[in-house]
Amino acid sequence: MVSSGNRRYGNPIIVHHDGSQTQPKRVSFTERSLQEGWLQELIRKNPEVLPVAEIEPAFAPPVPVGIEVETSVGPIDNMFLSPQGYLTIVETKLWRNPEARREVVGQIIDYAKEVSHWTFDDLENRVRGYNQQYRGSDKGLIDTLRLAEDVEETEEQFIIDAVSRNLKQGRFLLLIVGDGIRESVEEIVDFLQQNPQLLFTLALVELQVHELDINGTQSFLIVPQTLARTREITRAVVKVEDKAAEIVRVVGIDNGAKTNKKKPKPRRTLTAEDFFDTLRRHAGKEDVEFAQRIYDDMNTLPYTTDWVTAGFMVYLPDPGGSGKRLTLLGIKREGVVFIGWGWLRDQLRALELPGDIALDFAKDYTDLFRLGVRPENINDMNSKVPLSELRNKYKEFTSILQRTVDRIIHASNQAKNEHNS
């Protein structure tokens, strides 16, 4: 936990290979060398500077769909949409005007109220207008999301429904992004976050701007600090080459928090809420509770999960430590489980591990559920099994899954030993 009144900041120091140091100069928010328009362009061109995934995963990755978006209550500075159909509204502020500290919170809430009256077509038209101005095309919303993530035709209606529902319910991520967040604003955010009737998530992102000279070129070091309702601090360092705000790379992220030995129960995200809301319309109470059990089980070691447009996916982190993930299965919101053994096979081969492990996984799966399809021909479409059927054979299924994981770990360890010998 971090107290807003006791925050202290250190100055970043760049240590070069030869041991020399460069200390960037902090650009104070009282200076006028940077304008709010610069800040808007920075995050429009480099949305990854906003740690959206750490605040609420459903809103990541944020795809730019608007800047200076006109509404009846004023222009929205920046607007982003995730492939899962969640809208992020950003208000940028350089805190030079003390009176603006409280007004900015009210302003961004007014934007949320206004946008909650939009239809899917209203947002679609604004996305097309943005694309015409900045991308030289008139792509619509779905095609724009394909710039960030593959969207299959079967998923299009899910996205349209999700966007429409989120607009109507006001399920937005509201970000106040500035270079000198003040305690008075934080107190207002604390108050708003305690009101459960408000469906949006409101968070603060402070961007500390540091100026430095690299080979005669003016560059900026951007240090984002996120203040969310959990009061957890997430830090990242982003190197920006010039005032055009073109990003080079994210240097690092460190939340600075102490590791809890006991793994906390996975936090329910807005995507999860939508998943279970939809599942209740397709499945009975027992299957909904069973889906929650699967989700909880799959968030224990060695598995990890991720929410996607149509449900959640289950992965095995590469035991070899590459950072890659191996796809095991997925649960869709219409109440079915599926495996994509072809993905797993290709991922194993890329790691120089036996692809036959994936084929055997598919064979065991098809035998268990008597799918009547050859293992080599199974895919995420013809491998669908209702949750009710999985529930009846869950013990056998988890045994198959564990056997597959054990084989992957064994093959990885064997490959590592051969490499070291």
346-372 pLDDT tens trace: 999 999 999 999 999 999 999 999 998
The answer to whether the CB of 365 falls within 8 A of the CB of 374 is no
Q: What per-residue confidence (pLDDT) applies to 258? A: 39
- Residue 109 to residue 191: CA distance in whole angstroms: 13
Q: Which tens digits make up the pLDDT trace of 293-341?
A: 999 999 888 999 988 767 899 999 999 999 999 999 999 988 999 998 8
- Residue 399 to residue 288: CA distance in whole angstroms: 22
The answer to whether the CB of 274 falls within 8 A of the CB of 165 is yes
Task: Find, among 413, 387, 406, the residue nearest to 295 by Cα.
Answer: 387
How far lies 34's CA from each of 90, 93, 94, 181, 219, in Å? Answer: 18, 11, 9, 16, 13
As a residue count, the chain comes to 421
Percent of the chain with pLDDT over 70: 77
Band of residue 15 on the pLDDT scale cut at 50, 70, 90: confident
**At which residue do the structure tokens 């009256």 appear?**
117
What's the sign of the alpha-carbon dihedral 204, 208, 214, 216?
positive
Identity of residue 372: G
Residue 183 has pLDDT above 80, yes or no: no
Q: Which two tokens stand for residue 185?
A: 């604003």
CA dihedral 243→248→249→255, nearest 10 degrees, is -10
For residues 335 and 96, the model is more confident at 335
For the chain, give the mean pLDDT.
80
- Residue 143 to residue 138: CA distance in whole angstroms: 10
Band of residue 55 on the pLDDT scale cut at 50, 70, 90: confident
CA dihedral 243→246→251→255, nearest 10 degrees, is 80
Q: What per-residue confidence (pLDDT) applies to 228? A: 43
Band of residue 246 on the pLDDT scale cut at 50, 70, 90: very low
Q: What per-residue confidence (pLDDT) applies to 243? A: 43
How far lies 392's CA from each of 50, 331, 378, in Å? Answer: 44, 16, 22
Given phi > 0 = left and psi -120 to 50 = alpha, else beta, which region is 340?
beta
Other beta carbons within 10 Å of 367: 11
Exposure string for 142-156, b = 16+ CB within 10 A, e = fewer = bebbeebeebeeebe
**Interacting residues of 296 by C-beta distance below 8 A, sequence separation 6+:** 265, 266
Identity of residue 32: R
pTM score above 0.85: no
Domain range summary for the chain, segments of one domain joined by +: 4-254, 270-420
Identity of residue 188: I
Q: What per-residue confidence (pLDDT) applies to 281? A: 80
For residues 38 and 260, the model is more confident at 38
Q: Which two tokens stand for residue 356?
A: 């036959």
